[in-house]
Structure 1
Amino acid sequence: MRKRLLMSAVLAASLTLTGCGTADSGSPAPGGSGGLTPVKLQLQWFVQAQFAGFLAAVDQGFYREQGLDVQILEGGVDIVPQTVLAQGHADYAVAWVPKALASREQGAGITQVAQVFQKSGTYQVSFASSNIKSPADLRGKKVGNWGFGNEFELFAAMTKAGLDPGRDVTLVQQQFDMQALLAGDIDAAQAMSYNEYAQLLEARNPDTGQLYQPSDFTVLDWNTAGTAMLQDAVWASSERLTDPAYQDTTVKFLAGSLKGWAFCRDNPERCRDIVVAKGSKLGASHQLWQMNEVNKLIWPSASSVGLIDEAAWNATVDLALTTKNQDGQTVLTARPEGTAYTNEFVRKAVDSLTASGTDVVGSGFTPATVTLTEGGA
């Protein structure tokens, strides 16, 4: 039976806050501790190397250098970060651009102030034996995806390939793991390059008794397919950005954050240790893989880490306006109005980092080779 993933329900749910966890540096006292300005950052998922730069900025004191006492709020399945921000429960949030713009269209007063990931990390993965080598090959297949706005790139790729998501594939609500693919319940599974794809390579192949190898799978990469959308971005309160004090805090927060990401580029093993110490659900080899893959999405940067590329941003909006789900609905119904994004504050942050000697481009970045272990331990 086809399991319908209603985009309209997702977008409506995006304005409902249901919970909030923490993974902090110690909750700041009202008014800040030691004269520091208290700041709350809402993540979009559980603690993992996807957010290592922010965690490192706390651990290494980069936020404190900026006069900030930053508390990091852990995300989860039932947490919509842009909603936490819009409702005033956080000062900044990390969220994918199309999801946040959908919330913004429904009234969330948020503005994008930095872009961390320069590439999409989303894959659609199948066993090589399934012979799914392009989005067009998904026709007639059981196609897993997580929903909750994570499926937009997949639907864009199917639309580009001439497939109707409502008729030409069987959509299956996928859990946030790879078990359905490994069990043969679906033909293609959604995976992040830095997370679920690694979980496949950490699983044992029952036919060989060894861990699965990349050659056992076929990967559809939306960067290659031309339907990539911008992902991890930093969002701020639109209303508060009119306040000079919040503007100043925004510049300082971005400077500390981007210094954290530069640190993780140069010290991936140290950042792995920081993430594991903060209670990541998967172990050290998995987090090192994730750190390496996340670095690939950021570095080297064309001009500077954090800057929002207008062409990439417009491409994301265009896809959000034209991609239809199985019910014929699009992510956005109109181009974003007002100040949906700004480089004003991140440019100031980058200038301050450059002046202090931080490499904000990473032209010499070279990915490492990471050996995974069973279960990611």
Structure 2
Amino acid sequence: MTVSIARCARPFAAAAMSLALLATACSTTTDSADGDGDGAATVTLQLQWFKQGQFAGYLAAVDQGFYADHGLNVEIIDGGTDIVPQTVLAQGQADYAIAWVPKALASRESGAGITQVAQVFQRSGTLQVSFADENITGPAELRGKTVGNWGYGNEFELFAGMTEAGIDPSSDVTLVQQQFDMNGLLSGDIAAAQAMSYNEYAQLLETVDPATGELYTAEDFDTIDWNAEGVAMLQDAIWANTDRLDDEAYAEQTVKFIAASLQGWAFCRDNVEQCRDITVAAGSTLGASHQMWQVNEVNKLIWPSPDGVGVIDEAAWDRTVEIAKSTTNAEGSTVLTTDPNSEAYTNEYVLQALELLREDGLDVTGEAYVPVEVTLEEGGK
């Protein structure tokens, strides 16, 4: 399998699948009563993209036997450009899925029966990056600039930030459909480009500056962090099938799956190098230094988690919903038209999972978490 420089983004419009498909689709996985012959329940997890450091906690939970300890045999399925994980889940073709909250909520509004059961990323990893000589240190400085974005719903933090700064995205900037790399920024075609802190931003720091013959450094760039601007939206979360949560066996399995997944993320918090190696061994063709960067930066999005890792913060949820409802793109459309109903998320299962982990003495808040130092190599090798 060839794994490209990864994108966690997915077209939320593709999630608007036929209700007939949702009604007739059959699960390709076994229920928790079935197993692999050793008494373990066979469970499938659909990722947003190919295996990389963004998903290291789940890979570690397989590698370290955390799922097996909870009686689960978990198969992790790669995503791709034409795969919408929440739709795969809603159609019964996976037991759980990892998806950004606004995209999954758009799918729910289109009829997908899914419920968020854990919020892994506590902070947004989306940045707007520019060369330092552009002097773009905040959204207000984007006025009159050529601004790149991936579209497909990934632009809503950017658009919300510009709107808050009094900039009309449809007329006050030149919007460019950005490719899933940083070539537009490096070539000068884009003044400010969209990037994930754990991926595309690292691509810049893995590139040789032709003026110096050395790798670019952080001092060569300015970044706009949407967390600091107050318009961050919730990203990687664990989603379950809403109807199946009424089944006691699936509900119990969900608690176990969350517990083992969060144990995997705690392991990656405390064992960054080992999780880098696990990710590379899982099939990623991204370089070792790039994966080390990814795991470290993703840890920063998760830890510390004062309320307990995976707990869905109501204020962050409400902010995400409000931005999804109120911020329009250049075509005048929004992610959501109405508030999600009461089945959109629940902390019921993650709180039970956290209790299991606490009973085992696991640190589920990471209050003393300190990131490691990562040295990137040219090309991420």
TM-score range for the pair, normalised by the shorter chain length: over 0.9
| Counterpart-to-counterpart distance in 2, 1:242 and 1:104 | 18
Match of 2:201 in 1: 197
The answer to whether the Cα contact below 8 Å between 1:45 and 1:74 also exists between their aligned partners in 2 is yes
Deviations 1:356-376 (A, max 9, x none): 111111111111111110000
The answer to whether the Cα contact below 8 Å between 1:16 and 1:80 also exists between their aligned partners in 2 is no
| Pairing partner for 1:60 from 50, 60, 64 | 64
Asked if 1:297 corresponds to 2:301, the answer is: yes
Deviations 1:298-319 (A, max 9, x none): 1111120011111111111111
Structure 1: 5+ residue stretches without partners: 1-8, 18-26
Match of 2:92 in 1: 88
| Pairing partner for 2:326 from 322, 327, 339 | 322
SS, match of residue 223 in structure 1: coil
Asked if 1:283 corresponds to 2:287, the answer is: yes
Q: Give the deviation of 1:10 after TM superposition.
A: 4.5
Which amino acid in the other structure matches residue 31 of structure 1?
Answer: D
What is the root-mean-square deviation in Å for CA atoms of aligned residues?
1.7
SS, match of residue 339 in structure 1: coil
Deviations 1:25-59 (A, max 9, x none): xx999932111111110111111111000000000
| Pairing partner for 1:165 from 165, 169, 193 | 169
Asked if 1:31 corresponds to 2:66, the answer is: no
Asked if 1:221 corresponds to 2:222, the answer is: no
Match of 1:333 in 2: 337
The answer to whether the Cα contact below 8 Å between 1:28 and 1:69 also exists between their aligned partners in 2 is no
| Counterpart-to-counterpart distance in 2, 1:71 and 1:225 | 38
Q: Give the deviation of 1:174 after TM superposition.
A: 1.1
| Pairing partner for 2:211 from 196, 207, 219 | 207
Match of 2:13 in 1: 12
SS, match of residue 175 in structure 2: strand
Structure 2: 5+ residue stretches without partners: 1-9, 19-28
Match of 2:158 in 1: 154
| Counterpart-to-counterpart distance in 2, 1:78 and 1:145 | 19
Which amino acid in the other structure matches residue 369 of structure 2?
Answer: F
Deviations 1:299-348 (A, max 9, x none): 11112001111111111111111111112222111110131100000100
Match of 2:247 in 1: 243
SS, match of residue 169 in structure 2: coil
Asked if 1:51 corresponds to 2:67, the answer is: no
- Count of residue pairs the alignment pairs up: 360
Identity of aligned residues (%): 66
The answer to whether the Cα contact below 8 Å between 2:11 and 2:84 also exists between their aligned partners in 1 is no
Which amino acid in the other structure matches residue 97 of structure 1?
Answer: V
| Pairing partner for 1:310 from 299, 310, 314 | 314
**TM-score where L is the length of structure 2:** 0.92
Which amino acid in the other structure matches residue 240 of structure 1?
Answer: R
The answer to whether the Cα contact below 8 Å between 2:17 and 2:110 also exists between their aligned partners in 1 is no
